[in-house]
Amino acid sequence: MKLRWLMAVLLVAGLAAGSFWRNRVADAATGSVERGEDIARTAESLRARLVETRRDFHMHPELSNREERTARVVAERLRALGLDEVKTGVGKHGVVALLKGKQPGGVVAVRADMDALPIQETLNVPYKSRNDGVKHACGHDVHMTVQLGVAEVLSKMRDQIRGTVKFIFQPAEEGVPPGEEGGAKLMIAEGCLENPRPSAIFGLHVMPNIEVGQIGVNSGPAMASSDRFAITLRGKKVHGAYPHDGIDTVVVAAECISALQSIRSRRINTQEPLVITIGSIHGGNRFNIIADEVRLEGTMRTLNEDVRAQAMAMMKQTLAGVTSAYGATYELEFGGNNPVTYNDPALVAATLPTMKRVLGDANITTPRPQMGAEDYSLYQKVIPGFFYFLGVGNQSKGITAMIHTPEFDADENSLVIGVKVMTNVLLDYLDGKSGKP
């Protein structure tokens, strides 16, 4: 009898507990939807301001480590929004700001890059670049605009923020000028991820081959590592009529280029992506003199850190073999290195429900990991990160040109979409709701 009574009590308690948690989950889901609707309305109200901001950045592009005006505009906007701390001069021209919610909680970071490229603007648009030979051809004007939009939306809803959002505006993502430091590496070294330290970092990148209204998501590898290299080949100068008395580094260079390509085709698992590109070759000083030095420059990219290490070792081995066969010598230098942009699978899984709620399942795409690279990957070496792609293409409007081209442009409808998605992502992360039913 006592056993039956105990089982009945446990059954009732279990049903009550189940009902309680179902109600809690339902309330949380309802709250997220209602908050998302508020965010959408606020983001939409900012449409004109977002377009104006993006066009201002686009008309005034600045190269890596030269983002003085850009940083000033960003910092002024953040201060006007009343963010709690706005630090400038981090990593040369970087800006780091905090937005503290009124409820206790954790810390999450979001990053946007600020630099432009040495590319001539060819589009005849009202917001055409006013800096000759410089253009926001990689969409960093969009990245900054979206992040400022997120800051503005969140500044209006501090009472709903559980914790702190750290905004990182980073210079020199495209690579620092020779002899200088910068980019994510210097930002991290100067403490952008400390005081307070975020538990995760989010970021986005425009992508013209994804239609506006959609985003691209990769779990695990999203973008390749990037290793810039320089090879110096040394031989012996002699009159071109007597090559047997010298060591011709032009011939050696030709052999090296061919041999380096065999690393990808014959020595690395064919199912592993790897690119070894020689982008420039310089040597010799006269038509009838055997060149005693040739310099090659290029880039190596892969989606696997083990393959990256193997390929580096194989490049050294290959160059040593070819040069020794000709009696020449070589030097190989790697620099400007970025690891694989690797999205933490658990963080991606936890964030996807938020993205689907905001945009709908059909607008979440899964592009193949690409061989472009990002120094955002350096943040991911410190804390878990999720870097996704914001669709800015629009075939019906003819907006299809790829990034890093003179014709690149972005559908400005992506600005509001970017703000909506990232704002929800950050809030849900701090709530701990992402990925829960």
Which residues are part of the catalytic machinery?
Answer: 115, 173
d(CA 49, CA 220): 35
HSE-CB for 336 with a 13 A CA cutoff: 21
Alpha carbon of 316 to those of 328, 349, 377: distances in Å?
14, 39, 25
Residue with tokens 């085709």: 265
Closest CA to 413 of 42, 35, 46: 46
Strand 94-100, strand 289-290: pairing: unpaired
Beta bridge partners of 334: 229
Q: Are 347 and 200 in contact (CB under 8 A)?
A: yes
d(CA 100, CA 107): 9
| Consecutive H or E run containing 152 | helix 140-155
d(CA 75, CA 148): 10
| Burial grade of 153 (CB within 10 A; 0-12, 13-18, 19 or more) | buried
Helices 47-59, 413-431: inter-axial angle, 10-degree rounding: 110
Non-local (6+) Cβ contacts of 416 within 8 A are 43, 44, 46, 47, 50, 149
Backbone angles phi, psi at 415, to 5 degrees: -65, -50
